[in-house]
């Protein structure tokens, strides 16, 4: 059976004073994660707020262990790119 893992990341972008500045941070992170880890990434909450975002990264694998490693790598990459802007990260299995 396939393993579907969803990593949800809450981000606070205190230095963003407009949606344009927020989009720059979010788009850069989404593109990097997609290209490096071949995961689907979308902004799922707070699209209309300029200083916060919630992103979801999803992977599907035949092995839950492999999917967990991919999502952990995605979280580590996001943490290294965002630093203290990454407020919370949670994994859910479907």
- Structure confidence by residue, pLDDT tens digits, 26-66: 999 999 999 999 999 999 998 999 999 999 999 999 999 99
Domain total for the chain?
Answer: 1
Domain at 7, CATH number: 3.30.70.1120
pLDDT higher than 90, residue 1? no
| Burial of 5 from C-beta contacts in 10 A (0-12 / 13-18 / 19+) | buried
Domain that holds residue 26: 3-93
At CB < 8 A and 24+ separation, what contacts does 21-27 make?
A: 21/50, 22/49, 22/50, 22/51, 22/53, 25/53, 25/82, 25/85, 26/53, 26/55
Helix (H) or strand (E) holding 73: helix 64-82
Q: State residue 88's pLDDT score.
A: 98
**The pair of three-digit structure tokens given for residue 68, joined into one six-digit string:** 């967990």
State how far the Cα of 15 lies from the Cα of 10, in Å rounded to an integer. 16
> Could you count the other beta carbons within 10 Å of the beta carbon of residue 4?
14
56 token code pair: 């979801």
């Amino acid at each position: 059976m396939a393993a579907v893992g969803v990593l949800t990341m809450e981000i606070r972008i205190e230095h963003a004073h407009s949606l344009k500045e927020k989009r720059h941070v979010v788009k850069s992170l989404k593109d990097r994660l997609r290209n490096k880890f071949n995961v689907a990434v979308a902004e799922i909450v707070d699209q209309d707020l300029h200083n916060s975002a919630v992103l979801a990264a999803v992977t599907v694998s035949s092995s839950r262990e492999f999917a967990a490693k991919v999502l952990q790598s995605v979280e580590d990459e996001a943490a290294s790119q965002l630093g203290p802007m990454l407020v919370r990260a949670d994994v859910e299995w479907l």
